[in-house]
Structures are given as C-alpha cells and as structure tokens.
Chains A and B, each alone.
Chain A
Amino acid sequence: DVKVTQSSRYLVKRTGEKVFLECVQDMDHENMFWYRQDPGLGLRLIYFSYDVKMKEKGDIPEGYSVSREKKERFSLILESASTNQTSMYLCASSLGRNQPQHFGDGTRLSIL
C-alpha cells in the first residue's frame, strides 16, 4: 500500500511565523502535490512537483513556497503565516502520468 506521511495532524502557529509542513512518501512516486481544503471551496492546488528540485505553481501559490530536495520528500513553506492560511493542508503523491493521487492524513493548521 502507498504510504504518504504528513509530519503533523494538528498545528497551531502565530501570524508572521515561518511554518514548515513536511510530507514523505514511501513508494518512489515521481509526482507530489500540496492542496488546501476549506469548507465550500473544495480542494485547491497550491504547488506540485514532477521531479526532484522541480516545482510548479498551482492555482493558489501566493504566500507559499515548496522544496523538493529528495524524491520522497516535499515540503510546503508558509513564508509569513497569516490568519487566512488557517486550513486543512493535504499532501498527495502519484506514480506518474494517468495514475491516481494518494493522500496523506492531512494537517489541520491554525494561525492565531
């Protein structure tokens, strides 16, 4: 079974802090994704990566950056956290083209 592990289930941070969300997959998947999910807005793609050291902007990249130094790890960075970034953050990975995405358990992030 595919295992996508997110570092924290719940996280509370303060406005202005730099926040790191970590995601690790154990299936040698090429592609990795970061989404946020808010009530009534569905899944929104923040950033994705098709290869090590490669990244592409999704639909809502503002205020975020990512890092993929190793194939199995994809990190999401909130450069200066704001209250409107309070959300459920979901990491996903996929083997390649035409393959489904597999999700981690999610991190519920609260910015106070």
Chain B
Amino acid sequence: QKEVEQNSGPLSVPEGAIASLNCTYSDRGSQSFFWYRQYSGKSPELIMSIYSNGDKEDGRFTAQLNKASQYVSLLIRDSQPSDSATYLCAVNGFDNYGQNFVFGPGTRLSVLP
C-alpha cells in the first residue's frame, strides 16, 4: 500500500512568520507531487506542482522536493490569517495497474493575528 504521511497538526504560526509543512511518501517510483489548500467546508484547491528535485517558488509559496529522501515540503512566507486551512500533499506514481494518485491526510495550519 503506497502511503503519504503528513503531521496532522494543528501547526500554529504567528502572522508574518514562515510556515513549514512536510510530507513523506513511500513509493520511490513517484513522479509528480502536488500541494492543495482546503478551507473548512470547501474543496481542495491546487496551489503548487513540483516534478524535479529542488525548489520551486510561486509568490509566497515554495515547494521543495528531495526524491532521495522521499520528502516534499511547502514553505509559506509572510503567513497571513487567510492562509489558515488544511494543506494536502498528493503524490502521483504508476504501477502495473496504471496511475496511482495518493493524498496525504493533511496538515491543519493556523496563522495567529
């Protein structure tokens, strides 16, 4: 069973700080990695995609991928109260049965004013 793990949180950070969210995965064959944000009662919204080792920046968000260590992280700079949400890590790989898209359980982030 392929697994994606995240700390459930809640992770609390003060406004303006850097929030760091981590995700580990079990399948070494995984090829693509995604971060979703989900506000309470809403559906997940894609915020970052990353496919190769290293960092990828988009505004206040930076995704980091290390395939050798099998982890992917999301940094949120200058955190705002509006960033308070659950963040889902998703990992995509392939096996003999086709595509295998696995979501982690999510980390709840709380940004305190």
What residues of chain A have their CB less than 8 Å away from a CB belonging to chain B? 31, 33, 42-43, 45, 50, 56, 90, 94, 97-106
Residue interface bits B6-19, CB-to-A below 8 A is 1, else 0: 00000000000000
Number of A-B contacts (CB under 8 A): 42
Residue interface bits B38-68, CB-to-A below 8 A is 1, else 0: 0000111110010100000000000000000
Contact of B34 with A100 in the complex, beta carbons under 8 Å: yes
Q: How far is the CB of B36 from chain A (nearest CB, A)?
A: 8
Report the bound CA distance from A101 to B51 in whole Å: 15
A105 to chain B: which residues have CB within 8 Å?
42-43
Count residues of B near A (Cβ-Cβ below 8 Å): 22
A33 to chain B: which residues have CB within 8 Å?
101
- The interface residues of chain B, by DSSP majority, are classed as strand
Q: How far is the CB of A94 from chain B (nearest CB, A)?
A: 8
Report the bound CA distance from A42 to B49 in whole Å: 20
Q: Which of B44, B46, B94, B104 has the most CB of A within 10 A?
A: B44
The 3 tightest CB contacts between A and B, nearest first, are A103-B43, A98-B32, A42-B105
